[in-house]
């Protein structure tokens, strides 16, 4: 591996937004450590034995598993320039319908996982001259969503954690940001039965006339990790074509 490559670790990289971010960063010269939870076959298919990616099976809720993967990253790469906390899980469940198990899973992946990855990646992030943490968050953090109360609550917690890290970790030269994607067509939406007509409707309702893509998100992450953004810290970037500005 070239010493000039920047090293990234992306959770939830086997599909959707995470896979898109990983592929884009690899194209831009990064070496990527990507994690998956269940589908090893899909993860391997996404990257087709690309020499610039290393895949790791990881449950971000499991402290020992997180420590193990970070030790593997340390052994192989020695340093970490970019951590992208992307792993997520959703359930379309109102307060009445949401089970305690679903609630704990959502908070476990979105909040506990982000905390554990950040905590144990710090050793490697501090070794870099310029390092960045990007938390993939959501406008749900600022909105009421009766159909997704657990997700909205978890995103609010994750957003505040991002801000706390921006201040608390700056002394190490580590900058922390949140990136809030708009509606992005990924397999995560399959469970909700959104069809082509609904995707077209959402696109037409967007100020820029289309839905978000993983590459849109990846471009912002690349910028935030670049020298051009080295004085930015604690930013909350919406990648949604301006949708968050609408009142209805």
The answer to the question of residue 112 being in a domain is: yes
- Note down the domain range covering 233: 7-185+213-239
Quick one: which of 149, 60, 151, 159 has its CA closest to 112?
Answer: 60
The answer to the question of residue 43 being in a domain is: yes
CATH number, domain containing residue 155? 3.40.50.720
Report the domain count for the chain.
1
Average pLDDT over residues 57-84: 98
The answer to the question of residue 193 being in a domain is: no
Per cent of the chain over pLDDT 90 is 76
Q: What is the pLDDT of residues 135-170, one digit of tens each?
A: 999 887 777 777 888 999 999 999 999 999 999 999
The answer to the question of residue 122 being in a domain is: yes
Q: In Å, how far are 70, 123, 158, 206, 241 from 182, measured between CA atoms?
A: 30, 32, 17, 9, 8
The answer to the question of residue 248 being in a domain is: no
Is the pLDDT at 2 greater than 50? The verdict is no
């Amino acid at each position: 591996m070239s010493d000039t490559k920047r090293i990234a670790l992306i959770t939830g990289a086997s599909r959707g937004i995470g896979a898109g971010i990983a592929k884009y960063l690899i194209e831009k010269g990064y070496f990527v450590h990507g994690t998956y939870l269940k589908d090893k076959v899909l993860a391997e298919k996404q990257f087709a034995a690309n020499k610039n990616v290393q895949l790791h099976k990881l449950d971000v809720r499991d402290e020992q598993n997180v420590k193990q993967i970070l030790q593997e990253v340390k052994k192989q790469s020695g340093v970490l320039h970019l951590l992208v906390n992307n792993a997520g899980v959703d359930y379309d469940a109102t307060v009445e319908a949401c089970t305690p198990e679903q609630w704990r899973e959502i908070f476990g992946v979105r909040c506990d996982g982000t905390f554990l990855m950040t905590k144990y990646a710090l050793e490697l992030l501090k070794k870099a001259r310029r390092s960045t943490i990007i938390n993939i968050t959501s406008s749900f953090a600022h909105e009421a969503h009766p159909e997704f109360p657990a997700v909205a609550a978890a995103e609010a917690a994750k957003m505040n954690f991002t801000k706390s890290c921006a201040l608390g970790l700056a002394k190490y030269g580590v900058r922390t940001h949140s990136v809030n994607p708009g509606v992005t067509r990924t397999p995560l939406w399959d469970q909700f039965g959104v069809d082509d007509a609904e995707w077209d409707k959402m696109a037409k309702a967007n100020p820029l006339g289309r839905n978000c893509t993983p590459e849109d998100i990846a471009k912002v992450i690349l910028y935030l990790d670049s020298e051009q953004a080295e004085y930015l810290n604690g930013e909350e970037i919406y990648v949604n074509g301006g949708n968050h500005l609408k009142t209805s």
